[in-house]
Amino acid sequence: MFQSSISRRQLLAGLGSGALLLTAPGAFAERLLTPAQTLGPFYPDQLPLDRDNDLLIVDDHQMPASGTVVHLYGLILDAHGKPLHDALVEIWQVDANGIYLHSRGGERSARDVNFQGYGRFVTGAKGEYRFRTIRPVAYPGRTPHIHLAVTLPGQPRFATQCYIRGERRNQRDGVLNAIRDPKARERLIVPFVPVAGSTAGEQVARFDVVLGLTPAS
């Protein structure tokens, strides 16, 4: 469970050193798997040239994306809690206007061209990933969410979605509530915690992903 806020100094030090990423208790103990969800129709049909893990700045644009800044981070683990390195982690989401990067993901003229819309990160030895993005917003028919996919060598791509704890629209979201087991559903819903002392109103969210790996043939 997250504390009610985290200081900006803790955030920057932790993300820089990996300290925040290594607080998961019970490492190497059997864990409940993260529920899979649909990749969705709006995975980018053309990936951007800028595909780094900072979705707020596109190429050399001077203007950052609109929206509340969120530092999304976590661990990619197997069912025994072992960190998975060299995992390709991808995220994509709508911009602050509710528009996807995908060519059919909303009104093109309304899209925030300063929001990258998609990013990727390859995990290190400790299985950690991190992104700088925006707090997800709702759009017609969906509660706020961030799509996340993990691809490991020799494994099929795993897709899921990350949701905001306390968001009232979660109760009516058909995709989220298609997960009938409440305990499984809760594993996709995480706190978005204010960063204490941030003049920009930044937030931080930790979303760990636990995968059941397919045995090598």
What is the CATH classification number for the domain harbouring 125?
2.60.130.10
Q: Note whether residue 217 is domain-resident.
A: no
Q: Give residue 140's domain range.
A: 6-211
In angstroms, rounded to a whole number, what is the distance separating the alpha carbons of residues 96 and 139? 10
Do the domain assignments include residue 26? yes
Average of per-residue pLDDT across 22-29: 51
Question: Could you report the per-residue pLDDT of 29-80, keeping only the tens digit for each?
Answer: 578 999 999 999 999 999 999 999 999 999 888 899 999 999 999 999 999 9
DSSP at 208 = -
Give me the number of domains the chain comprises.
1
- As a whole number of angstroms, the distance between CA 25 and CA 3 comes to 15
Say yes or no to pLDDT of 25 above 50: no
User: What one-letter code names the amino acid at 55?
Assistant: L
Residue 145 in domain: yes
The per-residue pLDDT for 199 is 85
Instruction: Identify whether 216 is part of a domain.
Output: no
Is residue 93 within 8 Å of residue 133, measured between CB atoms? yes
Query: Which tokens go with 158?
Result: 């795993």
Q: How many CB atoms lie within 10 A of CB 162?
A: 24
- Look at residue 7 and tell me whether its pLDDT is greater than 80: no
**Residues 6 or more apart whose Cβ sits within 8 Å of residue 41:** 102, 104
Is residue 168 a part of any domain in this protein?
yes
Which amino acid belongs to residue 91?
Answer: I
pTM over the 0.85 mark: yes
215, 155 contact by CB (below 8 A) = no
Q: Does some domain include residue 1?
A: no
Cα dist from 196 to 5, 10, 15, 168, whole Å: 6, 10, 15, 24
Q: Report the SS3 class of residue 110.
A: helix
* Rounded-to-integer distance, Cα 78 and Cα 139, Å: 33
Would the CA dihedral through 65, 21, 170, 175 be positive or negative? positive
